[in-house]
């Protein structure tokens, strides 16, 4: 009987070498991302993504795991959507973010999402509804700062109008 799949809770940096090895052999890696940057598509800790080796030329709309480097030589991982390509540099932005990440080189792209599991149901990245969602996220990336401000203003006004009166 095959051994059941085990869940391991660890930081990506601790398994990067093993993950890169598996991806370079044509395999896939599945993990549960943390954070809110890819809401509403991915919920932290409950949903999972399956990653594969990135294609030679990633296309806009692809969700990728990549490394962001800072000026002090530090590194962190991000799982965001590719929203632009400029002079061999790739610009990513989380679906729940109003600003994009600094551009990265192809060498910093570790993997791309081939499917994701949401509420126990698997979704491919080529399905009709996912493609509609991806197109919407790409179309709205430039107006997010304005819509975010509008949402906050409406919410603030709503709170002021309907807040409970305290004695």
pLDDT tens string 14-62: 888 889 999 999 999 999 999 999 999 999 989 999 999 999 999 999 9
Q: Please tell me the predicted confidence (pLDDT) of residue 46.
A: 93
Distance CA 78, CA 111 (A): 11
How confident is the model at residue 2, as a pLDDT?
A: 54
The values of phi and psi at residue 26, to 5°, are 90, 10
What pLDDT was estimated at residue 167? 47
The residue-averaged pLDDT of 117-133 equals 94
**CATH class for the domain made up of 12-141:** mainly beta
Whether residue 166 has pLDDT greater than 60? no
Give residue 5's pLDDT: 55
CA 120 from chain centre, in angstroms, equals: 18
pLDDT band at 123 (very low <50, low <70, confident <90, very high): very high
Pairing state of beta strands 63-69 and 75-86?
A: antiparallel
Nearest-10 Cα torsion for 116, 121, 122, 123: -80
Q: CA–CA distance from 52 to each of 96, 106, 146 (Å)? A: 23, 15, 34
Helix, strand, coil shares of the chain, percent, nearest 5, are 30, 30, 45
102/108 Cα distance (integer angstroms)? 12
Percent of the chain, pLDDT > 70? 90
Q: Is the pTM of this model over 0.85?
A: no
Give per-residue pLDDT as tens, 70-84.
888 888 999 999 999
**Where exactly are the structural domains of the chain?**
12-141
């Amino acid at each position: 009987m095959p051994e059941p799949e085990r869940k391991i809770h660890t930081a990506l940096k601790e398994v990067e070498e093993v993950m890169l090895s598996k991806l370079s052999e044509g395999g896939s890696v599945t993990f549960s991302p943390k954070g809110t940057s890819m809401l509403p598509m991915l919920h932290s800790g409950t949903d999972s993504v399956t990653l594969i080796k990135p294609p030679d030329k990633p296309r806009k709309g692809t969700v990728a795991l990549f490394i962001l480097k800072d000026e002090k030589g530090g590194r962190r991982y991000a799982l965001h959507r590719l929203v632009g390509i400029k002079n061999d540099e790739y610009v990513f932005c989380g679906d729940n973010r109003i600003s994009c990440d600094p551009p990265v080189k192809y060498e910093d792209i570790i993997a791309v999402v081939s499917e994701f599991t949401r509420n126990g149901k698997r979704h491919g990245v080529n399905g009709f509804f996912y493609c509609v969602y991806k197109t919407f996220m790409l179309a709205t990336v430039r107006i997010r700062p304005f819509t975010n401000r509008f949402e906050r203003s409406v919410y603030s006004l709503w709170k002021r109008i309907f807040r409970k009166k305290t004695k």
